Structure 1
């Protein structure tokens, strides 16, 4: 055979396969000349691999000229091209049999094009699957349109029963079609539905809408699926519809919603991830998908998806073994289905809260996994490479005979074809690469989907059968008490009563069987871990509080079962902190934060907080206020939990804990301000600072108290003041213009609404605005000039004391500088020491009288904040020093936190090193004790009188030395 003959460049065993069709096509005009040389090479390659293409071009050699001359081989199709071509074919067709013929010829021509472009790599895998899906969309939609027009002539127009609106069928594409991932010889999974019940308007042959659409659907299936001399268009599978083959072929939207709400199963959630309206009334179909979204994507973290996918995989494995499908690149070990399961597991688990994961196409999901679920980047790269290789292999297999199979061939000729299609010199080389990819997929699948190794080890340590007997009330009381004592519960009676209380609770009595099974599965390991705590009975009480809270949302139990490390962290942290247990019981969704200790015990700095929140808010639709508020609240709760975990385990000192909590508040305040500003400016336009000069936004949030002093604790409210610097006589520049003061007042109100409104996830912060000029009787938002005038002429000394700890925490940097100048001017004013001292001491005495422990029933106790020698004494001394000396020592105004102000006081010689050092130590210790009380859910700041006496006495002594 001549070396110039393209056939000679094929493997020996494939030259004869391609020779016959080549001999009929080689003289074709399209292959002549220099420009036809590459096409000749490509055609020989395609003919050697694909019997389907060889058969089609042998039967219709004119297609080759069309494919070349019209550029169908060399160029990608733009969107809508398939529909245009098919409409042109069907426009003049009025006979159903002829329509079937034209549909099949159109499909076969386009399949020749697609196989050619795929096997020659003119199109990559993603383009091939996308084009195949677009081809199917066009065939379904244009065929439906053709059939619908004739059906309405015969039976009338279907109308809704309520408002007599015309109805059209909605065709949902499932699986690979829905995700635009169709393969070369795939069937198409469809569902038929329609918006509303009613009947057609035919005067004599009226039909119920459901009957009409069932008949229409049957016609559509016949047009696509029936085999005739021209072949078929697409094999149609309707088994994914509600109730499967036992259900009606077409159902109303209402019936769809009721079915998924009442009877939808886990595998149907999996199937609905990829569902997409592909034909008919697309807009109505999109509305339906929005209505069904809560069924697919749960608002909470749903680790039960692992159970479901694991069960589905076991069923597939049994089928693989039964049918001998180990060489199946889709269903076999390390195949396409395992890659899909990995991505879709995370979609089902986290998609309800992470909108970025609510996508259909797998290759869009995989790259998100490192950032969104913590999967290693290297693992994702291996999965992507394997998936592309496996899908290309699948296409090579199916291109041979246009058959729906994923089985690797076992004959030498078939193997040579696959090796050629995949670019390998021989079958062995291809097999080595395939095996490498499948091993990688299998390993990553096991890492994600398979049961955690630690679970088995932990259950081995637990006497599981006895624990289950105890839980099921199958042991007598003496046996139970003995067993609990042996397992670490010193007060076995107390532990038993708690377990009995859980068993007898109404929630437990009403529990569904699946939840009972999940509870029984997790309890032995959980109780074993609790028994190892030094305060086992207290820990049990706290952990059971959480268990009671999640009984009706038992997916959280699966989370603990799937993540033994998270269960260990839960018990450890609940043992150390009542606050932690209470927070998780109120917000079980936060259990997800326990999974990764790298993030749990490493709270981010402010820059990372801002970046993380920005990314999360990008996924929230701008007009979805409810979702925005829920996103902000989850972000807040999750990061407070992380800080608390680091605090409880002493991974962070007190000062760092306060830093993180304050940074978190600042980050959220900035986000709330930006959202409120955007909403109001869209409605009213931008306020004007001066004529022709818009604000940028010339608005700041000033933090006072603990917020201003960078000393936030768990549950701290925020003392805030809002200030703007726009001309009060000007208006905003929008169509619905309002005066600047009205705009900024509404801005403040909207921010407060964002912050302290209670939603299902609670509130962000409790906001206290009483420190603004004139307190609760003053304006919600003050102009900077009015603020300065008030502070100069009307403010009390205690308001200037509060200003010592004030700083801008969100808003315009330029206005923040102007505010800082005003603050410095106000605090640097010369003051009469005697007058100032009398006013500060007088206020302090009033506070002790009204707020100290003597005003309560706590006799023989000490109030950490208000009693003599407490926190407020230190704060008042610091504030007195600043007000008295700032005019001579302006560096005292640099910081707003007490520790660094005390450093400045010492550096300027206003206190001795001993005094300043003792006050710093006392301040840290007193705050730390209060902090620990907060973590134990002890809201009061009162401790026993004999505690902390050394620090109290030192603070009281220094007060007497300084404040005289």
Structure 2
């Protein structure tokens, strides 16, 4: 290296890159990292950036840091490869100086002489990408602390939103639709108000965050020409604003934009007149909207009008008196937060850093709750930002200095973890990876030696947060006071007890008194001993409080009563519930919100034993975990009948425990679908093994005989729910010269496998004292119900290649071998892959899929919006899009997958652009989350007017939405978007 080049490298390290030494990050794979760095250096050289090339080819500390960054983050690596100019700029400016320049360029882009919507979109995307990269680089280098990172991200969002708004206002002015007072300062006096909500409003945006906006307008603003046209004009401008910011182009996107926090989003326009908004908040506004307005901030448009609007809202947001009743309501609405008290260790893999136990949302809500209580009297408690408000709460004595320091430390630690998750691939995720390499990657990005060291600190952080959060609600005055008289002796109802029960939320207090007296009379086995009755008496107040909070208190307690009636003994359970409030809360949630799970507990009280395992919520129910548990459980089975009974017991208990994990938030809907599917694979496979052994003891074996089960439908795509039937096809093979089996009662091969399959159907579906294992559906086999129940592999091959309908091949895209002989399973999957890959007329496939969807709609119309599978733009539309894409070769190459969500993510760019892929993927995720929870909790249809409030709470928790009206509007908008994509994609395929 020449002296000059060495000097340049030193300049790169000590000049304008970072203010101090960079973090010492290590790559996951050093050899791979070096290759990647060399490729980026070559790209920089080719693009004409020799300073970057020389830096990356050298051996400096800065080069080592970048080597690690590019190995750990595919987003950073791809960005550096495509845009070496971003790195080159850092030889001349610090990151902070460059970010200031970028924000200035963003503002200038909106005022360029020849600017158009298209050129602005391109400029914003390029500048945002550069800023995003630099903010991440500074964060990973620990050059910027997390408080600086979130402020930079928020400032970037403000700048992009303001630029888009200014462009639209100027264009409207030049087209004569508005008359701006100063076109050089277009927002001033425009009357267009854009409030940033949530993390944007608080200057706390995360790395891959959506931005939440609420849009209002002042019809009498100086710039408005005709107040009567203003509503339509500002709604149209807002729609275009969202498109400018959100639509994915070849240059990416700026910010995903969410307008769902506006008043009554299901029935209001995107921009709402100020007076109508004020009237809404003052007359119909809900407590979650009060809480949301704490963080509201004018971020773009007419900032003076926005500030005036918020001043008008102050009496609504900040009550003069300590409003504990309102806080209790906010608490019930913010149902994504659970004040756990250590029920089981927290799983690190798959943990949601935002919404999970001990997560970011608990700290935010910890602060927000007390702000709502006291902010009316103490203006200094009205701030938007979380950490400064912790300081103010401590200064005024609302929390201890210890709570302030602990929660501040953990808040910024958890925000760093959240950023690391998102910086890997610039994805809006808050969930830690479930695989070892993914977790190791996050640990390295945060500067930990390994995943174990990170996991230890992460668990400690979550536990500290949840302890402070739980303590908050223990000490809240409204919640800690005595609950009043509870007297259940004698035959006459105590009047004060009836009042207490009514206050707790029971609508039929007299009936409840009668039920509780039944417990004390010892009429159930669980309450026959004096000690059991004594423990239950001590537990009763806590039980009644817990059931009262379900908002269907009477139903919850009556379900618990049914459960109690079936218990063989009660002392252990009552003692456990008394010492473990988290378990009591979970039981109350099941009884109040999940009639289906409550029914399982009532019919099979032994499944409750699984809840006693302290590791329940920290163990992921993956295939290996379930297989190990199943093998141990079947070990003691001596007979065929006992094996089948044990399979039913095991499946019922594990379905219940998977459901409890979903209910408690320790796994998400996608993981639950995989767990339910793995459980079906394993138990049906074990049933098949038992049937083959039992059947062959009488009929012997067919020479070279093999069986394989293809899982179809939701089993094949690993998307089973708690209540799913199971779609199967049973295939068999044997030697060509096999004529009959070799047993005591020989059978011809076709007859043998037909009888074997019938025996399997009975083994799985026939009701016994232990219930049914699964309801089986074999209608997807060749020729449907008219064909034999077992299919010879050659006949399957011939039928699928010569006689099958398009819809049968669509169904085959989800086929997966789930059990049986390994070689036949492999052959069957290979055959399925070949059939799917056969050349097809894409237009014909699209037409038939469209015709079939139309026929389904006519023959089986959806009941209502909540018939998520059947609504136009619902699950079936998404499944059909994925299946058509696979059959017509419009999914990107890779390892074959049967999962609808995975296929939608891999739709070929020529078939669906990045924006469409993202929207379809988000819709699928939403539908699966809702469907999994609804199927878990209910046995029948989802009746909107009769849904248990606790279930409504959980649906809002998993979608992170504040109100059921907002959720319904979101489902409606999502389905409309999916139907639009369905029509466009299939119509395009027909051409």
TM-score by length of 2: 0.46
Bigger Rg, structure 1 or 2: 1
Bigger relative CO (Cα 8 Å, ≥ 6 apart): 2
